[in-house]
Amino acid sequence: MGADQSNVLQVKDLHVQVKTKDGVKPLVQEMNFELKRGQVLGLVGESGCGKTVTSMSIFQLLDRKTTTIEGSITLQGRELNGLAEKEMWKIRGKDIAFIMQNPMNAFTPVFTIGHQFIETIRSHTEWNKKQATELAIEAMQHVNLPNPANLLKSYPFQLSGGMLQRVMIAIAACLHPAVIIADEPTTALDVNNQKKVLYHLDKIRSEYGSAILLISHDLGVISEMADEVAVMKNGRIVEKADVFQLFDEPQHEYTKKLLNARSQIHFDESLIHFA
């Protein structure tokens, strides 16, 4: 009982199926994991293994007409699976936040950054526009964005990918959610911005106690950030272990292949760099 109470997010026996013209296809099967306050769980695996489907299931963003979600998803003891959209709308952004892979997809192009940031804050609080603006500026300062008051007046296309990613992190963190799901948060960024994003995520975890589900195919990012790692293959977790144990003594053959592929890729990159 005590162990369950310490979990801010718990996923039990999650199964996700999608209806196709050829019948029902399983996307995620027998998914089980939990997140404790301040913990970072890395979720790794090749493209198409079910990582993003898992995160969309937690957020209840999958189309109910074509997908079926079975199992339990509890956030701070509250069941999310099957919750009415009106109730989920109150939870998303406040108790659980999402950092998307492509920051351009997270913003509406016809509204300023400020409009979208401030409305997000006001939809979950009783603050007025002035108070919400002050919080937005403060949150952007925390992720080292220059001249946040001016950036709030900008449109998404006027910011670089790295800046948009940091704005998204600022929005995700500003209301101190219990859980942040970061889906490939560094994929589209250069090395410098990757380091900044990882630093800010770690700062959010340590300062606010937010638990982070870090989804990535980049094992370097996982090794730097995660406390525990779950390895996915074909919609299932095939291995879950402490980050040091998983990298030093992988048990599953698929995990070993992933680690060996990473070593080979790094070798090739070094040849290219020094050529």
User: What is residue 201's predicted lDDT score, i.e. its pLDDT?
Assistant: 87
DSSP-assigned beta bridge partners for residue 69: 16
If we measure between CA atoms, which residue out of 193, 211, 190, 215 comes closest to residue 202? Answer: 211
Average pLDDT over residues 159-185: 90
User: What is residue 32's predicted lDDT score, i.e. its pLDDT?
Assistant: 96
Q: Which residues contact 213 (CB under 8 A, 6 or more apart)?
A: 9, 35, 41, 43, 55, 58, 179, 180, 181, 182
Integer CA distances (angstroms), 40 to 140, 161, 211, 226, in order? 22, 24, 6, 5
CA distance 144 to 167: 10
Average pLDDT over residues 160-164: 86
Of residues 163 and 4, the one with the higher pLDDT is: 163
Q: The whole model's pTM is what? A: 0.88
CA distance 100 to 95: 17
CATH number for 2-274: choose from 3.40.640.10, 3.40.50.1980, 3.40.50.300, 3.40.30.10: 3.40.50.300
User: What is residue 2's predicted lDDT score, i.e. its pLDDT?
Assistant: 40
- Helix-strand-coil percent breakdown of the chain, rounded to 5? 45, 25, 30
CA distance 201 to 261: 26
| Domain boundary assignment for the chain | 2-274
CA distance 187 to 244: 23
